[in-house]
Amino acid sequence: MNVKRFLAISALSCWSLFGGAQEQKDWFVFRPENNFMATETGMADWLHKPAGKHGFVLMKEDQLVFEDGMPVKFWGTNVASNLPFMKPDEAVKWANFLAHFGFNGVRFHKFTWGATDGIHSTKITDTKWKNFDYLCNELRNKGIYYGWSHIYGHKVMPGDSSRIIAYRELAATKFPWSHLNGTTSALVNFAEDLQALNIELTVNMLNHLNPHTGLRYAEDPALSFVEFQNEDNIFWSAIEETLKQTPTYRALLCRKFSLWLKEKYKTDAGLLKAWNNEGLPKDQSLALENIYPQPNHGLFSYEYEQAIKENRPVKQHILDKAAFLYEEQLKFYRKFEAAVRQTGYKGVIVGSCWQAGTGLAHLLNLHADAQVGMIDRHNYFGGGQGHRLAPGKFDNAAMVSKIGSGLYSSGLQQVSNRPFAFSEWMSLIPNEWTAESAPIIAAYGMGLQGWDASYVFATDIPHFTPTIHAGGGGIYNATSPTQLALYPALARMIHRGDVKEGETVVDRKVDLSSLLKGATPLNETVKQDFDRKVIEGSFPLELMAAGKVVLSFSDENKTEMISDLSSLWKNSALHSTTGQLMWSEKGKGFFTINTPGTKGFAGFTNNEVLKLGEVSLKTDNEFAVVFITSLDKEKGIDASSRILVTTIARAQNTGMKFNSEHSELLERGDAPIILEPVSLQLSIDRKSKPRITVLDHSGRKTDQVIKADSEWISLDGATTKAIYYLVEY
């Protein structure tokens, strides 16, 4: 290395470190007490107690409603692995914590691996389930519903061996993800012996009596949904590697497909003619019953895209393979559904929550999910490599910069006559703009799009974490201040129904029968990096900021869109059909919320004065999330005696360092968390002058009072070291 280059690199490094220090000179330490008693922000009294008081949660067209007709939306979180079996004293802490932040739903996730008798994979015991029963009762009493995502790869055990056609093969399987080794994952979608295990475990759980409630879980209306399997379907590409390790199951799949083809085409000659002599290797035939259906969404996505490019129908051998796999998936789901209903459970069912690529496989998988219950999907955005916060390159884009990008694009899978849930999502650190994510999901997803449930991934402890990462460096952290500190505002907005559902502005109609004959009705793409998906639509994604976007299974292939956008497109910004939301892509982008109970913004506002009804806002921050929230259940900001101001920007670990472009993490840093102060100018058009009190980071009043001597009130986070303020009239 020559001297000039060395000096240049050294100077750049020094600039990066010194510039970072200068940039953070007013940042302050985040100091929550993690004691949530007697705060101004608590929401325990907003939840309907006990959970289940209105009856079971049911599907009514595209909504979730209780048996008594009351509509409901779930603002929830994931509690995973061994946590659902926490000790009773911890259960009390968790129930209080979740209620305080307004969570009315919990998704128990992948929690049955160690919860059976240790011999059989389907037999649960009262001893192992006593803590689970206690936790459920605590949640129930606080008005918190719970759903089951209990199967994420059903681990087989020695006691199952006599029931499995190839136990040794299955028990020895190795996945790229070690937690799925030796499970029924992927194969279960066509193998009846494995389906019996998954179904039996679920039925046994539903028939288990909770001694604290006196109810079997099948009779418990606080059980808001039962999911058949997490992130699995017959088109999942991982199945091919599993089939290589399980020749007995591969032979079973091929025999099933061959018999399906024999019924349709009778002879090999008829098959080859229909397939135009394509897609059938020389060593495969109907006579040998060994024709392989290639269950990989990558194949079906590619062939669908090629058909579009070449302006032709999808090839017949691809259509037959896809149709067979779809029918196998649906048979499994129908069998599972019948067994669950036979227990007496009346609540919501979810097939699975994974996407099968694009085009043909995606649409068939989506239709199979819609046949048995609610549509549920997962997505993640940002982050670097892997599941741990570590030095390296990362995606520092902001979702507000492009309408319909990132997490919000998952809504493209919303089916018009089914409720929609987003049961795993997170904006991943070290992306600096993670505070934008929850407001997008709450306002645009749960509000404008009419989504019915959100479960952020994940909550591992019943309090704020001391670092922006979770324990062990995990990047999936719902208890960071850029998430959890926003929930007193967001949960109120959702539970009060502040943001109204928009008019349908795009309806992509798909005729399944023509799809299975080779039609290509949708040209939408998915770029997937494991859990992170970028979805591009067949229409201008900006319309997702205008109103509701759905997909309908219909008797025609047609995309219907709003004809005139002129009234909604103003000053380089798209306004919603409700008049409550505005999303601007100017600069790096921002959006505003203007409802009676909640007003605010998220993103890069370019120092603009934002006039939102009786509230005006202006910030000098490059990026910020600000909410003005009525603390009254009925009254809006114009009449409420108590108003909460929430101000969040960036959060980092102490000692966290980036390169000069903020595209690479150099050092992870450690506790404590430091927060970027928000400088806010606030005006509320009301006759009397308010009293403004600075709240501490737990939401309690401090001795700091800010005078409101003029029209504009200055809330300077660099001085107050605050994220919350209480405005009282």
Distance CA 289, CA 255 (A): 5
Q: Where are the beta strands (DSSP E) in 631-669?
A: 642-648, 651-654, 657-658, 664-667
Q: Which tokens go with 553?
A: 């299974």
C-beta separation of 74 from 64 below 8 A = yes
**Quick one: tokens of 328?**
């196998």
Q: What is the mean pLDDT of residues 139-149?
A: 99
Share of the chain above pLDDT 70, in %: 96
476 — phi, psi (to 5°)? -100, 90
CATH number at residue 164: 3.20.20.80
Nearest CA to 111 out of 129, 97, 134 is that of 129
Assign 284 a pLDDT band (cuts: 50, 70, 90). very high
Tokens at residue 64, please? 């979730």
Question: Which H helix or E strand runs over 126?
Answer: helix 126-142
- State the virtual CA torsion across 234, 236, 237, 243 in degrees, nearest 10: -40
17 in Cβ contact with 462 (< 8 Å): no
> How far is residue 59 from each of residues 297, 332, 557, measured CA to CA in Å?
29, 21, 26
Last residue of a domain, one of 503, 532, 565: 503
- Asked whether the predicted pLDDT for residue 527 surpasses 80, the reply is no
Residue 580's domain spans which residues? 573-728
**d(C-alpha 365, C-alpha 354), whole Å:** 9
Instruction: Tell me how far apart the alpha carbons of residues 389 and 473 are, in angstroms, rounded to a whole number.
Output: 5
pLDDT at 531: 63
Residue 206 lies in a domain: yes
Distance from C-alpha of 202 to C-alpha of 343, rounded to nearest angstrom: 10
Average pLDDT over every residue of 442-458? 99
**What pLDDT was estimated at residue 35?**
86
Task: Say if residue 489 is in the same domain as residue 605.
Answer: no
**Residue 584 reports pLDDT greater than 50:** yes
pLDDT at 533: 65
Shared domain check, 584 and 480:
no
At 97-123, the pLDDT tens digits run 999 999 999 999 999 998 999 999 999
Residue linked to tokens 């098959």: 271
Average pLDDT of span 596-601: 99
Is pLDDT above 70 for 9? no
Are 400 and 492 in the same domain? Answer: yes
Tell me which of 386 and 101 has the higher pLDDT: 101
Contact yes or no for 637/628 (Cβ under 8 A): yes
697 and 593 fall within a common domain: yes
The mean pLDDT of 577-597, rounded to a whole number, is 98
Residue the block writes with tokens 């407001």: 439
- Which of 12-16, 112-116, 164-168, 299-303 bottoms out in mean pLDDT, i.e. has the lowest? 12-16
- In this predicted structure, the answer to whether residue 647 has a pLDDT above a threshold of 80 is yes
Residue 215 bridge partners (DSSP): 210
Closest CA to 103 of 73, 80, 135: 73
Buried b (16+ CB within 10 A) or exposed e, 399-436: bbbbbbbbbbbbbbbbbbebbbbbbbbbbbbbbbbbbb
6 pLDDT band, cuts 50/70/90, is very low
pLDDT at 4 over 90: no
Task: Answer whether residue 149 is part of any domain.
Answer: yes
Which stretch of 17-26, 341-350, 582-591, 665-674 has the lowest confidence by average pLDDT? 17-26
Which residues have a Cβ under 8 Å from the Cβ of 261 and sit 6 or more positions away? 271, 286, 291, 320, 324
Mean of per-residue pLDDT scores for the chain:
95
Q: How crowded is residue 443: how many other Cβ atoms within 10 Å of its Cβ?
A: 28
User: Rounded to the nearest 10 degrees, how much is the dihedral formed by the CA atoms of 339, 343, 346, 352?
Assistant: -40
Asked whether residue 586 is domain-assigned, the answer is: yes
- In this structure, the dihedral spanned by the alpha carbons of residues 155, 160, 164 and 169, taken in order and rounded to 10 degrees, is 50
Residue 16: other Cβ atoms inside 10 A: 18
Residue 697 host element (H or E): none
530-567 pLDDT, tens per residue? Answer: 566 666 778 999 999 999 999 999 999 999 999 888 89
**Final residue in a domain of this structure, among 458, 480, 503:** 503
pLDDT of residue 718: 98
pLDDT value for 22: 59
Where residue 207 falls among pLDDT bands split at 50, 70, 90? very high
Is a pLDDT exceeding 60 seen at residue 5?
Answer: no
Same domain, 438 and 579: no
Residue 512 lies in a domain: no
Residue 655's CB: how many other CB atoms inside 10 A? 11
How many whole angstroms separate alpha carbon 147 and alpha carbon 341? Answer: 16
pLDDT for residue 307? 98
- The tokens describing 664, both together, are 């690479």
Mean pLDDT of 283-299: 98
* DSSP structure string for 312-347: SPPPHHHHHHHHHHHHHHHHHHHHHHHHHHHTT--S
Q: What does the pLDDT read at residue 532?
A: 63
Same domain, 499 and 580: no
Taking alpha carbons only, the member of 286, 301, 293, 303 closest to residue 329 is 293
The predicted-structure confidence for 325-371, as pLDDT tens digits, reads as follows 999 999 999 999 999 999 999 999 999 999 999 999 999 999 999 99
Share of the chain above pLDDT 90, in %: 91
Residues 208 and 82 in one domain: yes
Residue 307 lies in a domain: no
Question: Does some domain include residue 527?
Answer: no
CB-based burial, 113-151: b 16+ in 10 Å, e otherwise? bebbeeebbbebeeeebebbbbbbbbbbbbbbbbbbbbb
Whole-number pLDDT of residue 1: 47
Confidence bin at 526 (pLDDT 50/70/90): confident
- In the prediction, which pLDDT does 133 show? 99
- In the chain, how many domains are there? 2
What integer is the mean pLDDT of 248-273?
A: 99
Confidence bin at 177 (pLDDT 50/70/90): confident
Helix axes 316-342, 247-265, angle to 10 degrees: 110
Note whether 233 and 330 are same-domain residues: yes
Q: Same structural domain for residues 493 and 586? A: no
| 200 found inside a domain | yes
Domain contains 701: yes
- Do 387 and 474 lie in one domain? The reply is yes
What is the per-residue pLDDT for 444?
99
- Closest to 612 (Cα-Cα) out of 581, 566, 646: 581
Q: Indicate if 476 and 612 belong to the same structural domain.
A: no
Q: CB–CB of 350/376 below 8 Å?
A: yes
DSSP-derived pairing of the beta strands 223-227 and 348-350: parallel
Model confidence band, residue 571 (pLDDT cutoffs 50, 70, 90) = confident
Same domain, 330 and 440: yes
The answer to whether residue 18 scores a pLDDT higher than 90 is no
pLDDT of residue 629: 99
> If you ran DSSP here, which 8-state letter would residue 87 be given?
-
